[in-house]
Chains A and B, each alone.
Chain A
Amino acid sequence: MKISLFVPCFVDQFFPSVAISMVKIFERLGHEVDYPEIQTCCGQPPFNSGYWDEARNLAGHSMDTFRDADVVVGASGSCGAMMKVFYPELFHGHAREAEVRALAAKSHEFSSFLVNTLGVTDLGARFEAKVTFHDGCHGLRELGIKREPRELLRNVRGLELVEMTEAETCCGFGGTFAVKYPEISTAMGEVKCASILATTADCVVSNDSSCLMQVQGILRRQRSAVKCLHLAEVLSGTD
């Protein structure tokens, strides 16, 4: 299968190893990986800020980017939800509505694509650590992804998965919210991090790097040694 990678702008800029891990995983599974280089931002930041015309133009750019793709697999539940859920809303009654629905149908979040489309739950990975999983809100509630990342993690050799009590509680990132309301955002992040620390896990894993940026930002400031990794980074490790 030819898989077109959708690498959100902040993953491209700050967390390239997430996308590199995805390439490794898909190639190891025998698939061809394509990365349309004209891709930039899915348009979620202006969309969430109420600037839907600007968001629509960026969504149009994404549609052009992935027009010839067979399947599009994204590194982030949040940006994936933008494509799958919010693009159709944004183009409701618009000339490109059919096109946007086609893109939504062929685009997938990483863990959901592995488990539900490829039917793979064991990637032969090894990762020696006690791990807790953070559910990114958009992946969890817009895309309904909960079971998939856990199934993948359970099959990682050496990995012990422990659930935190606040797994489904928002980390407080929320895009521009994080800087528009920094006090509330930080308070939410602190609640999240307290829950992570209470598990005594060595590592917090998520399928969304944007949440991890927030969690890592707070954990580093608290001088905590808990590592923050994207699911793909854990799954790409082998013996």
Chain B
Amino acid sequence: MSAPATSAQFHRDAGRVAHDLRHRELMQKALGGYYLKRDEQKAKYTDWQQARTAAAGIKYEAVNHLDRHLVEFAEKIAARGAKVFWASDGAEATAYICRVAREGGVKTVIKSKTMTGEEIHLAQALEQAGHEVVESDLGEFIVQLREEPPYHLVFPSMHLTRGEISETFERKLGSPHAGTPEELTMIARGVMRRKFCAADMGISGANFAVAETGMISITENEGNARLSTSLPRIHVAIVGIEKVVPRLDDLAILLPMLATAGAGQPITAYNTMLGGPRQPGEIDGPEEMHIVLLDNQRTRILADPEQRDALHCIRCGACLNVCPIFKNVGGHAYGTTYQGPIGSVITPHLRGLQNWKHLSAASTLCGACTETCPVRIDLHHHLLQNRRNAVQGKAAFFEKWLWRGFELVMRRPRLYRLAAPLNRLATKFQPLIQRTPLNPIRAWTNTRDFPKAPAQSFKETWRQRRNAPSAPDADRA
């Protein structure tokens, strides 16, 4: 049985990036500043651990009473004139949004950052339907020009140097060479301002959907989401159903935690609450507002009592930032919308376990993700559960017999006793086959030395001592 293409692609791309020392340095540099700022902000909390518990509690309540909170949110925002569409999957959501665009005579769509939009390939669907789509988040704008998916769910272009961004702008926009972040930003702004004014439709995601007030909360650093949601005639917000929170007060803890965990900020620069289209007597805002509530297999996670807390995720990206796998393989190797630990946990639910189980295997289970998660998702234990579920669903023939054999030996101490002499024998002969395909541990020895068998195993030493009780101690050193 051959591995699925997704797994082969991950092996290939991850292996390539892991060797890339320039990439390693780039990631260390990009994240080094983040760690400092994050710790500085965390230290301002009276009790960060308590704050995590409180945030997790809010999401626990929201997710476990999703039926009530979602309906309350939908009814309240609809009462102010927003149209609410319940989409069970990506196809339904994109079909609806394309219809709204067609019926609204939309030419240009301006998009602010939305990972949920990425998840359902919304921009591609709109482009295929003949609409021009422009990303307005700077990082997203850059990767859009390069025709790449985002590298990181919060920092989409973190894999690029200033020079590479300038080169992209020169090639795609015909701009002059720019050396500073300010110059680069001004080039992007020049392009975007014209698009903001021309756009007929703005698309956003939502960081939270507040049931109590029927409002969506959008948090951003560039002001582009405000423009995207208020200038065009039509605003469409694509919202995963897990984004709902019960009360407005809940944002008092969730917004600062999202900013701190995600970017090392005390609070994100712009925080906007939107509760409907332009109301009678108001002078600005869109004429139409559409809320697309997306399931797309989230209810499958909800139905899994072990992993339901994966719906707590506020997409801060903190787990990516501390994950040694992510740092060494980068965001593109995953081949998923959501990278890093959270992506490895939820992608099997969203897109099928057998095709995505390799991501759960690609972890040392070090637990740095779980330790950092601001909403206490038990991430690395979920990776273990995915591994178990994958084996229960379809165990690989060779592996199954390997572990059966392992168990057979390890449950029989007399058989296990043969391990020490065999180990010594292997140490003797291994150098002869070290560089040949016969070497069973070449995956190890290609890059690392393997320890040599000692003269005696501990068990042998102990038995010797037991048989000669007069010996002073077990020291062989």
Contact = CB atoms under 8 A, between A and B. Distances in A.
A158 interface: no
Interface in A1-36: 7, 9, 11-17, 19-20, 23-24, 27, 35
Nearest to B400: A51
Contacts of B18: 183-184, 186-187
Nearest to B389: A50
B475 A24 contact: yes
A113 B206 CA distance: 49
B461 A178 contact: no
A17 B477 contact: yes
Given A14-B454, A191-B24, A178 B444 contact: yes
Chain A at the B interface: mostly helix, strand, loop or mixed? Answer: helix
A54 B406 CA distance: 9
Interface string B183-196: 00000000000000
A177 B362 contact: yes
A1 B328 CA distance: 46
A7 B474 CA distance: 15
B102 interface: no
Interface residues of A, number: 66
B407 interface: yes
Interface stretch (A41-49, A66-74, A102-110, A119-127): A41-49
B396 to A, nearest CB: 10
Given A14-B453, A16-B456, A174 B448 contact: no
Contact of A23 (B19, B327, B473): B473
Contacts of A48: 365, 384, 387
A26 to B, nearest CB: 11
B364 interface: yes
Interface in B328-363: 328-329, 361-363
A38 B413 contact: yes
A174 B364 contact: yes
A195 to B, nearest CB: 11
A189 interface: yes
A142 interface: yes
B420 A141 contact: no
A238 to B, nearest CB: 11
Chain B at the A interface: mostly helix, strand, loop or mixed? Answer: helix
Contacts of A191: 24, 324, 327-328
Nearest to B463: A37
B182 interface: no
Interface string A49-84: 111101001100100000000000000000000000
B457 interface: yes
A150 B328 CA distance: 29
B303 interface: no
Interface in A140-170: 141-142, 168-170
Contacts of B416: 9, 40
A23 B395 CA distance: 41
A221 B448 contact: yes
Nearest to B32: A165
A142 to B, nearest CB: 7
A15 B11 CA distance: 32
A40 B365 contact: no
Nearest to A7: B458
A13 B457 contact: yes
B364 A216 contact: no
B443 A179 contact: yes
B475 A13 contact: no
Given A58-B407, A181-B362, A11 B24 contact: no
A35 B462 contact: yes
Given A19-B458, A184-B329, A187-B328, A218 B410 contact: no
A52 B387 CA distance: 10
B365 A58 contact: no
Contacts of B407: 46, 54, 57-58
A24 B14 contact: no
Nearest to A36: B413
Contacts of A88: none
Interface in B424-453: 441, 443-444, 446-451, 453
Nearest to A169: B324
Contact of A9 (B361, B410, B463): B410
B448 A218 contact: yes
A235 B325 CA distance: 33
Nearest to B422: A13
A12 B441 CA distance: 19
A24 B475 CA distance: 8
A181 B362 CA distance: 7
A185 B363 CA distance: 9
A69 to B, nearest CB: 16
Interface in B1-56: 11, 14-15, 18-19, 24
B450 A217 contact: yes
Interface in B394-431: 395, 399-400, 403-404, 406-407, 409-411, 413, 416, 419-420, 423
A23 B474 contact: yes
A217 B403 contact: no
A180 interface: yes
B361 A11 contact: no
A217 B444 contact: yes
Contacts of B392: 50
Given A52-B388, A179-B444, A217-B448, A12 B328 contact: no
A177 B364 contact: yes
Given A13-B453, A51-B391, A216-B451, A172 B411 contact: no
B304 to A, nearest CB: 15
Nearest to B447: A186
Interface stretch (B225-233, B243-251, B367-375): B367-375
B377 to A, nearest CB: 14
Contact of A58 (B362, B410, B474, B475): B410
B252 interface: no
A206 B476 CA distance: 22
Contacts of A141: 366-368, 370-371
The 10 closest A-B pairs by CB, nearest first: A174-B364, A217-B448, A50-B387, A170-B366, A50-B391, A16-B458, A141-B367, A137-B366, A187-B18, A183-B15
6 contacts: A20-B476, A24-B473, A27-B473, A184-B14, A185-B364, A221-B449
Given A13-B419, A40-B411, 6 more contacts: A50-B388, A58-B407, A170-B324, A181-B361, A184-B328, A216-B449
